[in-house]
């Protein structure tokens, strides 16, 4: 039985008219609608920030400092969340869109090198990718398969398709090293990189290369589509990132490369010495170096490829941990706020990558434990009555929900939020690893995206913290019921929070514990 969703997993393309005829605006559209959205979102943003600051000031005044250790944790967690709100709004407020057709191709069209990186993926997956590449509709391009496993079957397929099969003697610097090796063996002025499991559409080069007519464009990244299991249980389509964050970053020329489905200008890569080998994965830090060197980027918000995502807990955890680790290493040891060459918006946008993981890896674990502390101790972190706490917290909570809904055009759903919350231990682990990895990079492992058989013990070990929090919350509810004394309001409030936490963590826990689908997870044919 096929476990893949029958949906194309792409967002519908909004039909809008092109506005503006001047050369500086010819690559944008929907500007009039975006200007109205900007004014509306600014108003909601201001109201939300005021509500957040008012609530935080109230907490500072009425905190129960007798229990300073619990109060300190709570204030730190809330401060991280307020900071996240401010950074999130600054990043998401503006947006730049592009039409599905992109810019008109230059005449004659520029030749392109296509580099497909492989590292032991299943041959049937690689074959589908390479045959899709062979079907690209573009006048002049050459394909190099950078095979880091020297696979005979891949070499034979390259010979059949007329592609260059390239291997290297050593495997230093992971994917970045493989790309740099291929970079040294190719020569076209532009190059597109594709992962081994990314099926590109025939029109990908025609849609993206036209943007390079604009001076100082270093790379053009396309919307990445993914084939997911029915219902996308892990929220792996990342609609907020690809549908909202990248277009918003596009407005300040700080949209990042995602490592696949992206075309680079070779001259830009040559200026910074090629793909960065400083991080686990090359895309994030290479993007920052290009922007700091004065180059610009473009995000094409329409899908031109589709690939695979992990189906089971081990692959999911490994992939998200590596992403978080790269962001946190950048956050701690190459802080974007102090990177020369970046505009202030570029600095805050890059800074927000790491800050996001601080919120989910530090603030939320604190929130998970405090209700249980209150239920066992019979105390509360605020000296005011429970109803007064709700009176101050509720406006901030509702305003943030509305703002988040508007700023992401409804993409930030409950499922997206619970998927992020469920990774709190992954993010906490990445934060600690990044702090200990200033001069060395933790071991890199290619993410397994096909379904594999894991024992129940292997699956449960990834959610031990989740089970601990949920069991602790349930025991706390029962304990507090018989030891609440006269603090009924605080008991009910802590109980509500504990039940909310269980509700948040339950889907991720169930997904992790249950067996993965038995069928292989392969990308769809174009």
- Whether 27 and 89 share a structural domain: yes
Do 387 and 244 share a structural domain?
no
* Predicted local confidence at residue 83, as pLDDT: 98
| Burial zone of 64 (CB within 10 Å; 0-12 exposed, 13-18 middle, 19+ buried) | middle
- Both 370 and 436 in one domain: the answer is yes
Domain that includes residue 217, residue range = 112-309
Nearest to 92 by CA among 243, 282, 259: 243
Give the pLDDT of residue 516.
63
Give the pLDDT confidence score for residue 444 in this predicted structure: 67
| Strand, helix or coil for residue 233 | coil
* Partners of 225 in beta bridges: 306
176/278 same-domain check: yes
* pLDDT in the model for residue 6: 34
526 residues of the chain, pLDDT tens digit each: 333 343 334 443 443 333 334 444 544 677 888 889 999 999 999 999 999 999 999 999 999 999 999 999 999 999 999 999 999 999 999 999 999 999 988 888 999 999 999 999 999 999 999 999 999 999 999 999 999 999 999 999 999 999 999 999 988 999 999 999 999 999 999 999 999 999 999 999 999 999 999 999 999 999 999 988 888 999 999 999 999 999 999 999 999 999 999 999 999 999 999 999 999 999 999 999 999 999 999 999 999 999 998 888 988 999 999 999 999 999 999 999 999 999 999 999 999 999 999 999 999 999 999 999 999 999 899 999 999 999 999 999 999 999 999 999 999 999 999 999 999 999 999 999 999 999 888 776 666 665 567 888 899 999 999 999 999 999 999 999 998 777 789 999 999 999 999 999 999 999 999 866 543 344 555 4
Domain at 150, CATH number: 3.90.550.10
In this structure, the answer to whether residues 446 and 494 fall within a common structural domain is yes
Same domain, 87 and 130: no
CB 196 within 8 A of CB 149: no
Same domain membership, residue 137 and residue 84: no
Q: What is the largest CA-CA distance in the chain?
A: 81
Q: How many domains does the chain have?
A: 2
251 assigned to some structural domain: yes
Q: Which residues pair with residue 112 across a beta bridge? A: 141, 190
> Is residue 498 within 8 Å of residue 371, measured between CB atoms?
yes
Residues 504 and 413 in one domain: yes
Radius of gyration of the chain (CA): 24
pLDDT of residue 26: 47
Same domain, 126 and 261: yes
| DSSP run (H or E) holding 99 | none
pLDDT given for residue 20 in this prediction: 36
Q: Tell me, what's the pLDDT at 107?
A: 86
* One domain, residues 52 and 149: no
Q: Angle 386-407/31-62 helices, nearest 10 degrees?
A: 160
């Amino acid at each position: 039985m096929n476990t893949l969703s029958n949906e194309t997993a792409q967002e519908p393309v909004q039909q809008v008219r092109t506005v503006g005829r001047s050369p500086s605006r010819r690559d944008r559209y929907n500007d009039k609608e975006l200007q109205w959205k900007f004014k509306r979102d600014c108003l909601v943003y201001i109201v939300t920030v005021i509500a957040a600051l008012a609530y935080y000031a109230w907490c500072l005044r009425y905190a129960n400092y007798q229990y300073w250790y619990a109060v300190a944790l709570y204030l730190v967690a809330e401060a991280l969340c307020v900071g996240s709100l401010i950074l999130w709004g600054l990043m998401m407020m503006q947006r730049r869109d592009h039409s599905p057709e992109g810019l008109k191709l230059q005449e004659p069209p520029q030749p392109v090198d296509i580099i497909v990186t492989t590292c032991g993926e299943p041959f049937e997956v690689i074959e589908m990718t390479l045959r899709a590449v062979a079907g690209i509709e573009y006048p002049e391009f050459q394909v190099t398969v950078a095979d880091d496993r020297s696979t005979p079957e891949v070499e034979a397929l390259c010979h059949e398709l007329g592609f260059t099969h390239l291997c290297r003697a050593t495997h230093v610097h992971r994917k970045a090293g493989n790309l740099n090796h291929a970079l040294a063996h190719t020569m076209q002025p532009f190059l597109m990189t594709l992962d081994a499991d990314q099926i590109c559409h025939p029109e990908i080069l025609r849609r993206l290369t036209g943007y390079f007519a604009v001076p100082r464009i270093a790379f053009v990244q396309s919307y990445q589509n993914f084939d997911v299991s029915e219902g996308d249980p892990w929220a792996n389509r990342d609609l907020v990132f690809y549908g909202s964050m990248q277009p918003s970053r596009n407005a300040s020329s700080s949209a990042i490369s995602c490592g696949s489905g992206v075309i680079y200008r070779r001259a830009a890569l040559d200026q910074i010495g090629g793909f960065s080998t400083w991080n686990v994965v090359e895309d994030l830090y290479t993007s920052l170096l290009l922007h700091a060197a004065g180059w610009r980027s473009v995000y094409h918000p329409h899908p031109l490829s589709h690939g695979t995502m992990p189906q089971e807990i081990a692959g999911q955890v490994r992939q998200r941990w590596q992403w978080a680790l790269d962001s946190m290493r950048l956050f701690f040891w190459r802080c974007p706020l102090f990177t020369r060459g970046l505009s202030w918006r570029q600095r805050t946008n890059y800074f927000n990558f790491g800050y996001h993981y601080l919120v989910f890896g530090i603030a939320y674990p604190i929130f998970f434990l405090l209700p249980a502390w209150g239920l066992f101790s019979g105390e509360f972190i605020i000296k005011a009555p429970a109803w007064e706490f709700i009176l101050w917290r509720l406006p901030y909570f509702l305003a943030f929900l509305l703002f988040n809904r508007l700023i992401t055009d409804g993409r930030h759903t409950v499922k997206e939020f619970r998927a992020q919350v469920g990774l709190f231990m992954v993010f906490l682990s990445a934060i600690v690893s990044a702090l200990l990895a200033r001069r060395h990079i933790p071991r890199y492992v290619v993410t397994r995206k096909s379904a594999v058989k894991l024992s129940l013990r292997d699956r449960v070990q990834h959610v031990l913290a989740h089970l601990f929090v949920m069991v602790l919350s349930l025991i706390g509810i029962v304990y507090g019921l018989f030891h609440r004394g006269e603090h009924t309001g605080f008991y009910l409030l802590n109980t509500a929070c504990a039940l909310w936490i269980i509700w948040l963590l339950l889907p991720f826990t169930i997904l992790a514990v249950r067996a993965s689908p038995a069928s292989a997870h392969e990308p769809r044919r174009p």
